Structure 1
Amino acid sequence: MKYKILVAEDDNDIVKILKLYLDNSGFEVVYVDNGMDALKKIQEEHIDLALLDLIMPIMNGYELTKNIREISNIPILIFSAKYEISDKILALSIGADDYLTKPFEPMEVIARINSNLRRCYELDDRFKNQDKNFKLQVGELNLDLDNFTIEKNGLPINVTATEYKILAKLMKYPGRVYSKAQLYESINGEYCDSDDSTMMVHISNLREKIEEDPKNPKYIKTVRGIGYKIEVKK
């Protein structure tokens, strides 16, 4: 399968480098130089993954990510010269799946793209094949592995592809404790120490969406010094 990648970047030198590596990796690539055109491409074409610069004309990467999340759950990778952890947390909090800092190694970009595509698309069948009923339930939460939907009390909950995979992993075995590394590797296949903060942001985002009181969660519990589990007291 040939995946279609959208690259939104206004630096021609970076575009030339990305074009060389993305073309050689077998991707079909669409290039735009501003956020507004990027949003139009996603609205008009089938895009499998978006690679977005944070600072762009007309609409920046933050605004673009918010707008994309209103219409699509495709993986979003943001790359930026901003390296502060607060910038990364903000990007992940509004719906980005990954964050790379400039300057970057082109092969790392390719690796991140492949892992996010695998996380979003290729693992879907793996999750479904592991469960004959295609449905998971914990308390008032219902996750449909066939239709890739999540509901609470019958009402749909909008999550990103990464958040969906994390919740599916936790709901598959309620009560089982997973470290941040185990969760990350199960949905991404790769892990490094810097991914700790990424997983913490994804868990925080999930709690905001499924918990009545995110600061006192009913479902996703932190096991201090180890990781996370999902459970509901009977």
Structure 2
Amino acid sequence: GEVDKEKQYIRTLIDRMIDGIVLVSSLLEDDDVQDIKRQGTPLVLVGENRGNSSGPIVRIDCKDASFKAVVHLIESGHREIAMIFGSMPAIENQRKIEGYMEALRNAKIPVKPEYVLEAENNIEGGYVATRRLIALDPGPQAIFCSSDILAFGALDAIRDSDRSVPEDVAVMGFDNVRMSSLMVPKLSTVSKPLHRMGLSGARLLLDVIESRDSGEAVMEELVLQSKLKIRKSCGHKERINEIF
């Protein structure tokens, strides 16, 4: 599988005596990451892996990003807000769920267990979960998805149910992948600072390598903030006619 491939690539790199590794959105478990560190190869994670790894790591504040996304839906007039989350990466999605729930609690909106669904992180997963949500009575006024891929499935499911986005159900994604601005309607989403994450990961790895000689302490965790990218799908009246 994909995990075995990743392990093989890492073994090949270590055999070639590379100076260090930056693992981006790794599929490895925490024990696997610790094994690499014990072999003496400098390592930095960018994005959170499956286990709750110790640093050095560069990640985004998923809880805060989700909180802001759901607050925006609330401020746009929605009260019945559902969430669809993917099974992986587990840590990031757990933080997104925490942000979603905190936003609802702060607005004195009850968290409905039937409104929080786990799905395979693909278009079909988002589609199936959304069909389940809109079959509820009452169904949600808005759906927050833990990835844009899930949101694409949500858009399809709402259309196939003879409903409109955002008039009947608003949709908010997460990631701001390129396709999100090409959807109809254009998808509101959370934009991650990918360039800065990569740059910070490389700089942090250089610090780790240099610290082996200098003995200086290295930052264990760098948490970056995301931004909302508001487009038509969330129904915000000020952006309803947005072109870009």
TM tier, smaller: 0.3 to 0.5
TM-score of the pair, normalised by structure 1: 0.39
TM-score of the pair, normalised by structure 2: 0.38
Larger RCO of the pair (alpha carbons < 8 Å, separation 6+): 2
Counting strand residues as a fraction of each chain, which structure ranks higher? Answer: 1
Q: Highest CA radius of gyration, 1 or 2?
A: 2
